[in-house]
Chain A
Amino acid sequence: MTAEPMQTLVVDDTPVNVKLITALLKANGFVVTVATSGEAALELVSTTAFGLMLLDLRLPGIDGLTVARTVRSSPRHPQPVIVAVTASAMKTDVAAALEAGCDAFVSKPINTRTLIPLLSDLLARGRR
């Protein structure tokens, strides 16, 4: 894993999903903060520098795509790596996520065996 703990923001409104991904990330040395709505996510992003964001797309209120766009349009640097993690798995969803500024798209159900290597790889390459 990375030498320094990676500040990670998990944005998801389903408690059991948050529990799963948090357990997986923490066991692999990530430091996890959770937001259960788009509003909360934007609030946190404005005050804390996150290296990584795992973003559900269907959220109550401000949705994930808007969150990604807002983060990308802010002048803050460095920008976090944003991974869309969503149960919406249609082609159009993937395209919309990438267009909104996500670096990668992971569909639920997540693969717990490949998610961490994928994240490490993304983080090593850094934000394009």
Chain B
Amino acid sequence: MTGLGEELRGELEPTEVADRALAYLARYVQAPVAALYHRGAPDGPYTMLGGYALPAVAAPRSFAPGEGLVGQAAMRSTLTVIDADDAGLELRSGLVAAKPRTLVLLPLLRNQAVTGVLELAAVRPWRSVDTDLLGLVGETIAIALEVANARAAERALLDQTRQQARELERASATLVQKADELTKASAYKSQFLANMSHELRTPLNAIIGFSELMYDGAIPMDEDTTHEYLGDILTSSRHLLQLINDVLDLAKIEAGRLEFFSEPIELSRVVSEVLAVLRTSSAKHHVKVATEIAQDVERLVLDPARLKQILYNYLSNALKFTPAGGRVTVRATPESADRVRIEVVDTGVGIAPDQLDRLFGDFQQTEEGARKAGGTGLRLALTKRLVEAQGGDVGVRSVVGEGSTFFAILPRETRSTAAVARSAAEIVVAAADAATILVVEDERSDRDQLVAVLSAAGFAVEAVATGSEAIARCQSRAYAAVTLDLLLPDMTGLDVLQRLREGPNSAVPVIVITVVAEPGAVAGFAVHDVLAKPLVESALLESLRRADLKPNDKRSVVLVVDDDPASLKVMAATLNRLGYLAVCEQDPVRGLRAATEDPPLAIVLDLVMPGMTGLEFLEQFRTTDAARGVPVIVWTSKDLAADELAQLRRSAQAVVSKGHDGNARVLAELTSSMHVPGARLA
């Protein structure tokens, strides 16, 4: 059978082996239809590997050993010849559509195992020479199949290996990229730290240097020089604080911890508030500032404080780099149906193209910018992150010598990231037996100040922000005195003045506190006094004394617990100035005993102290009876994590950062937490 041997030589696929063998046999034994079944696994079924002129009707493609004629044939080792004319024989073969004279099934043997079955349907009667022929080709086909299968398996294995190699290659490329990113991130971190160190050391140089000189008396100094150096220390300290705040803000945004409180705003109003803060600066530089706000982007829903921060950063830059006689324009236009474009355009010095790219990076200042004192090199980086955290974009266009345009594209509506919005306490009450004064003032900071001064002096205070509320209060009860701002949002102060006397307060002394402090402003109205804003605290107390109003003469004791003597000194001075009696305690354990034995009106508490932390203090204090109704204001320079803050919120009334306007905020929190003592306590 050299013919078949030739046919099956070469690197053939198993299916090619099957097809060629069948074609060959079909010719020699005149079987027009043939099929070859092969067993892939030792216990698996016999599956059709190839066919020759198979009918279109699909026959079973695979048989288990013993199943059907193919399966049966596989159970033995010799040729099965079936006479198809035999009556009663049910043919369950792969070739049902054919009408064969003879059906032949040949098991293919390899090492005593049946590895396949060859099925032939012959149209002529079977001859013994055919049996001989098949006996000869059986093993040849079996071997060829085995070789082809081994080769296919090898190829599959090779393919798999190649596939794995490719995957490894891809994975390694990803790793290289990741490592690269990490290296970059690490390099960025090192660079950030180096820059940070540099930026911190620069103001510290002036702070430590000058104070060391003064403290040591190392160099002769007259009063003017001393004053000048103190000014330098102050400026550098403030710069340092700004730097720390900027870095913390940056870190908070990076960590996704910065909270946004969205509310409906009028854009022109927010812009004018920022411009008011910068007015001295723009006047000093002789720069004209214009505002152009398109009508349909006037009403937005954004966090006004963050928006102000963004505007402030852009505007203060624009003013800094625009020479006298120049012009700065704040422009707002619709960017799309749901986005607004806010631009700050200046006619300043402009920025070289090669410096534009890094402007929004950390600690990046242009050479021009570095020369102008004051910047931290973080403001634009911060602005970028502030805008991006709200789903917006920033950018800049500039032409050297003509000016720059910084822009921020923001959603017209953003959602708050925190559930609780900033809120103001409206009514504040001090000791129960004290004379009660009604404060009518719509400006939050002025109201806080009035409440702080009055309650510290021992008066009970109620505060309202509108004229209508003031009238409603005055109709329900009598007050010992009323302080009244003349410029209220809902009605004129004069209307309020007239109507608040209609009820039980017909003879109440009214102290008008106003920016329009001309006596004529309240002509014809019986007022006790007219005081000017900004309010001088002693003038108010003196005025009340003249109205024969006596505060509760027991001064309110506020316990201050802080291990840092300098902090104690500052807080005691602030509290005493406002009429509180500050009791200072450096040792938290002694402080806790004092607070428990003789509960103060309130406690101002540091967090990081040796011996006992502020948190431990609070925990222990809150288990005592004395703690009932004593508000605790945490006053700390620690940057708190969210969980610490949450823990503090449960047992303290407020958490205030040291420095900046921290002192004022402690006072505001003090007064507002004394409102309905216990209401916010568990």
Q: Please report A residues at the B interface, Cβ cutoff 8 Å.
A: 13-17, 19-21, 23-24, 27, 58, 60-61, 87-90, 107-113
Chain B nearest Cβ from A11, distance in angstroms? 15
Decide if B423 is an interface residue (CB 8 Å cutoff).
Answer: no
Q: List 20 A-B contacts (CB under 8 A).
A: A14-B202, A14-B373, A16-B232, A20-B206, A20-B209, A20-B210, A21-B209, A24-B219, A27-B219, A58-B198, A60-B367, A87-B201, A88-B194, A109-B201, A109-B204, A109-B205, A109-B207, A112-B213, A112-B218, A113-B212
B216/A87 in contact, CB under 8 A: no
Residues of A within 8 A of B210 (CB): 20
Decide if B236 is an interface residue (CB 8 Å cutoff).
Answer: yes
A108/B205 in contact, CB under 8 A: yes
A20/B370 in contact, CB under 8 A: no
Chain B nearest Cβ from A67, distance in angstroms? 16
Known: A27-B219, A88-B198. A109 touches B371 (CB 8 A): no
Residues of A within 8 A of B236 (CB): 16
- CB neighbors of A among B169-210 (8 A): 194, 197-199, 201-202, 204-210
Residues of A within 8 A of B209 (CB): 20-21, 24, 109-110, 112
Complex: A111 Cα to B208 Cα, angstroms: 8
Decide if B235 is an interface residue (CB 8 Å cutoff).
Answer: yes
Residues of A within 8 A of B206 (CB): 16-17, 20
A89/B197 in contact, CB under 8 A: yes
Decide if B220 is an interface residue (CB 8 Å cutoff).
Answer: yes
In order of increasing CB-CB distance, the 7 nearest A-B pairs are A27-B219, A87-B201, A108-B205, A109-B205, A109-B208, A20-B209, A109-B204
Chain B nearest Cβ from A18, distance in angstroms? 10
Complex: A14 Cα to B235 Cα, angstroms: 13
Chain B nearest Cβ from A121, distance in angstroms? 18
Complex: A109 Cα to B371 Cα, angstroms: 20
Known: A20-B209, A60-B370, A112-B213. A87 touches B202 (CB 8 A): yes
Q: A19 — nearest CB in chain B belongs to which residue?
A: B232
Chain A nearest Cβ from B422, distance in angstroms? 36
Complex: A23 Cα to B208 Cα, angstroms: 14
Complex: A58 Cα to B194 Cα, angstroms: 13
Residues of B within 8 A of A109 (CB): 201, 204-205, 207-209
Chain B nearest Cβ from A32, distance in angstroms? 13
B205/A60 in contact, CB under 8 A: no
Q: Please report B residues at the A interface, Cβ cutoff 8 Å.
A: 194, 197-199, 201-202, 204-210, 212-213, 216, 218-220, 232, 235-236, 367, 370-371, 373
Residues of A within 8 A of B199 (CB): 87
Complex: A19 Cα to B209 Cα, angstroms: 10
Known: A14-B202, A15-B373, A27-B218. A87 touches B197 (CB 8 A): yes
Chain B nearest Cβ from A108, distance in angstroms? 4
Residues of A within 8 A of B202 (CB): 14, 17, 87, 108
Residues of B within 8 A of A15 (CB): 373
Q: A89 — nearest CB in chain B belongs to which residue?
A: B197
Other contacts beyond A20-B213, A60-B367, A88-B198: 16, CB < 8 A: A14-B202, A14-B373, A15-B373, A16-B206, A20-B205, A20-B232, A58-B198, A87-B197, A87-B199, A90-B194, A90-B197, A108-B205, A109-B205, A110-B209, A112-B213, A113-B212
Q: B225 — nearest CB in chain A belongs to which residue?
A: A23
B205/A17 in contact, CB under 8 A: yes
A112/B216 in contact, CB under 8 A: yes
A27/B205 in contact, CB under 8 A: no
Q: B202 — nearest CB in chain A belongs to which residue?
A: A87
Residues of A within 8 A of B371 (CB): 13, 60
Residues of B within 8 A of A112 (CB): 209, 212-213, 216, 218
Complex: A60 Cα to B219 Cα, angstroms: 31
Chain B nearest Cβ from A89, distance in angstroms? 6
Chain A nearest Cβ from B10, distance in angstroms? 68
Q: A28 — nearest CB in chain B belongs to which residue?
A: B219
Complex: A108 Cα to B236 Cα, angstroms: 14
Complex: A122 Cα to B352 Cα, angstroms: 43
Complex: A80 Cα to B206 Cα, angstroms: 26
Cβ contact of A23, chosen from B204, B205, B219, cutoff 8 A: B219
Known: A23-B213, A60-B370, A88-B194. A108 touches B232 (CB 8 A): no
Residues of B within 8 A of A14 (CB): 202, 373
Q: A13 — nearest CB in chain B belongs to which residue?
A: B371
Complex: A112 Cα to B235 Cα, angstroms: 20
B212/A89 in contact, CB under 8 A: no
B235/A16 in contact, CB under 8 A: yes
Chain A nearest Cβ from B195, distance in angstroms? 9
Chain A nearest Cβ from B236, distance in angstroms? 6
Complex: A121 Cα to B205 Cα, angstroms: 22
Q: A56 — nearest CB in chain B belongs to which residue?
A: B202
Complex: A99 Cα to B457 Cα, angstroms: 66
Residues of A within 8 A of B205 (CB): 17, 20, 87, 108-110
Residues of B within 8 A of A113 (CB): 212, 216, 218
Chain A nearest Cβ from B376, distance in angstroms? 13
Complex: A118 Cα to B547 Cα, angstroms: 67
Complex: A15 Cα to B202 Cα, angstroms: 11
Residues of A within 8 A of B367 (CB): 60-61
Complex: A89 Cα to B202 Cα, angstroms: 11
Most chain A beta carbons < 10 A, residue from B198, B207, B235: B198
B204/A108 in contact, CB under 8 A: yes
Complex: A21 Cα to B213 Cα, angstroms: 11
A108/B201 in contact, CB under 8 A: yes
Complex: A113 Cα to B518 Cα, angstroms: 56
Chain A nearest Cβ from B362, distance in angstroms? 16
Q: A88 — nearest CB in chain B belongs to which residue?
A: B198
Q: B235 — nearest CB in chain A belongs to which residue?
A: A16
Complex: A20 Cα to B220 Cα, angstroms: 13
Complex: A107 Cα to B235 Cα, angstroms: 21
Complex: A5 Cα to B177 Cα, angstroms: 60
Chain B nearest Cβ from A76, distance in angstroms? 29
Complex: A23 Cα to B209 Cα, angstroms: 10
Chain B nearest Cβ from A92, distance in angstroms? 9
Complex: A116 Cα to B220 Cα, angstroms: 16
Residues of B within 8 A of A21 (CB): 209
Most chain A beta carbons < 10 A, residue from B204, B205, B206, B213: B205
Residues of B within 8 A of A27 (CB): 218-220
Residues of A within 8 A of B208 (CB): 109-110
Complex: A14 Cα to B197 Cα, angstroms: 16
Chain B nearest Cβ from A37, distance in angstroms? 9
Most chain A beta carbons < 10 A, residue from B202, B232, B373: B202
Q: A107 — nearest CB in chain B belongs to which residue?
A: B201
Chain A nearest Cβ from B208, distance in angstroms? 4
Q: B371 — nearest CB in chain A belongs to which residue?
A: A60
Chain B nearest Cβ from A38, distance in angstroms? 12
Chain B nearest Cβ from A50, distance in angstroms? 22
Q: A17 — nearest CB in chain B belongs to which residue?
A: B205
